[in-house]
Structure 1
């Protein structure tokens, strides 16, 4: 008896979530399809029911991770845009995010050093996620301040880079100093949040 569409979708999501975590930890070249599938408790055969290649899985897991971030969620109507952006920055530039303790971490920061070695399809998926992040922040920020596209580009580049670099630092004091400095600068660019 064939699996239901719901079962297949849940299995696909399980593969995407599990794979993103491994890709973020070890990079594209650092894991095999067998390891990816073992990590989520499935067989290699299940992989081919959902994906045609490891590169497709990498690209799709990047997009899946981005769609699960707080930035991708809808802003609660009772929270003003300025306050929402402040909450997003606080969460993004947190020690928990750097350590990968959030349910879904930002693929832009966690794959920053790995993405350049990938094919055009994967780079395109990464770029789409990056542009989406910029558009979302721009939408919130322009509702209360007169920042422009250049301000948003500098903010997103700074916070993504801050998390990527913070992940390499040896001690919590250095990490916190970096995150605090970037949070202050990003807040100023976004209208003093």
Structure 2
């Protein structure tokens, strides 16, 4: 995973300075898309609304994204990129502590849920993009490709924690991640609906309970 982070840094250093402005434009459009997707869904959101929210013209949009679907994938990549970067940096500090394994697993889960945005707009936007992939066959391949690119990295991070702590699971790591991911998504939506003040803590506790139940002696 450190190689991934290093590669990102090297790529940024090699990019010409003019790309900084382009990167800032793409980021503002992605942030605007999150707000609009959360309110209207992907299908209901228009390019004009996204551009207006970001303070740009349609020309700025199409010089950065070939379609709204491309923007959807960019939003997913940004959210996952921040999560992976934080986990890569912080998970080793959890593993290296002298705390009992159950407490370390609890810390790892809380770290994972904290690094994933608990912002209601982001939670809703990501779920709207997923639903759009169900409805739109043109978005589906890119969405599946995004998942395929992130799954190995998450698998390696989880495996490192499990091996370092001598944990034995009753199911494969890939299945564990799928189950925890599904639980996280469903419970975060429920917490948003309930307007729970500390969504992350509530969901973390449920994920930790599930993880401990899947550990074998």
Common fold by TM > 0.5:
yes
Unaligned runs of 5+ in 1: none
Distance 1:12 1:188, change over 3 A: same
Runs of 4+ in 1 over 6 A off after TM superposition: 175-178
Residue 140 (structure 2) pairs with residue 120 (structure 1): yes
Contiguous gaps of at least 5 residues in structure 2:
1-16, 96-103
- TM-score normalised over the length of structure 2: 0.65
Could you tell me whether the CA contact under 8 Å between 1:24 and 1:111 is conserved in 2?
no
- The 3 A distance-change label for structure 1 pair 109 and 51 is closer
Tell me how many residue pairs correspond in the alignment: 182
SS of 1:42's equivalent in the other structure is coil
Q: Which residue of 1 aligns with 2:26?
A: 12
Q: Decide which of 145, 148, 153 is 2:178's aligned counterpart.
A: 153
Instruction: Flag the structure with higher helix content.
Output: 2
Judged with a 3 Å threshold, the aligned counterparts in structure 2 of structure 1 residues 88 and 26 are, in CA distance, closer, same or farther, namely farther
Residue aligning to 2:110: 87
1:35 is aligned to 2:59 = no
Compare CA radii of gyration and give the structure with the larger one: 2
The question of whether the paired residues in 1 share the 8 Å contact of 2:123 and 2:189 is answered with no
Structure 1 pair 186/72, CA: closer, same or farther in 2 (3 Å)? farther
Q: Tell whether the 8 Å contact from 2:35 to 2:125 is kept in structure 1 after alignment.
A: no
Say which SS state the counterpart of residue 45 (structure 2) adopts.
coil
Aligned pairs for 1:14-163 (under 5 A) are 14-69=28-83, 71-73=84-86, 74-76=88-90, 79-81=93-95, 82=104, 85-89=108-112, 91=114, 97=118, 99-100=120-121, 111-118=129-136, 119-128=139-148, 131=151, 132-144=153-165, 145-147=167-169, 148-149=172-173, 150-163=175-188
Give the alignment's Cα RMSD to 1 decimal.
3.6
Indicate if the aligned counterparts of 1:112 and 1:164 stay in contact, CA closer than 8 A. no
